[in-house]
Amino acid sequence: MNVSQFFKLEIKRNLNLALFLSIGFAFLFGGAIVYSIYQMDGPFQPRNVSGLYAGIATVALGVYCSKIVIADLHYGTIYLLFTSARDRIVFLVSRVLVISIVSFMFGLGCAALLYVNHALNGQPFSAGDVGNAVLQYVLFGVFFTLLFQVISMVYQKVMQLLILSLVTILVLPGLLGIVFQVEAIPEFVKDFVAYAPIYSLPNQLPFLALDGMEMTLTAVVSLLLFVFAFKRLPKIDY
Q: Which is closer to other proteins, CB of 73 or CB of 176?
A: 73
Q: Could you say whether residue 1 binds other proteins (CB under 8 A)?
A: yes
Q: Could you say whether residue 231 binds other proteins (CB under 8 A)?
A: no
| C-alpha pair distances (Å), 209 with each of 10, 46, 125 | 31, 12, 15
What's the DSSP call for residue 235? G
Among 40, 41, 43, 235, binds other proteins (CB under 8 A): 235
Among 9, 21, 178, 220, binds other proteins (CB under 8 A): 9
Question: Per CB under 8 A, which of residues 35..94 are in contact with other proteins?
Answer: 75-80, 82-85
Q: Which is closer to other proteins, CB of 88 or CB of 137?
A: 88
Q: Could you say whether residue 16 binds other proteins (CB under 8 A)?
A: no
Which pairs with CB-CB distance under 8 Å and at least 24 residues apart come from 48-52?
Answer: 49/113, 49/114, 49/117, 50/110, 50/113, 50/114, 50/133, 50/206, 50/207, 50/208, 51/206, 51/207
Q: Which is closer to other proteins, CB of 80 or CB of 119?
A: 80
What's the DSSP call for residue 84? S
Report the distance separating Cα 95 and Cα 91, nearest Å: 6
Q: Which is closer to other proteins, CB of 10 or CB of 129?
A: 10
- Give the interface with other proteins as residue ranges (CB under 8 A): 1-2, 5-6, 9, 75-80, 82-85, 234-238
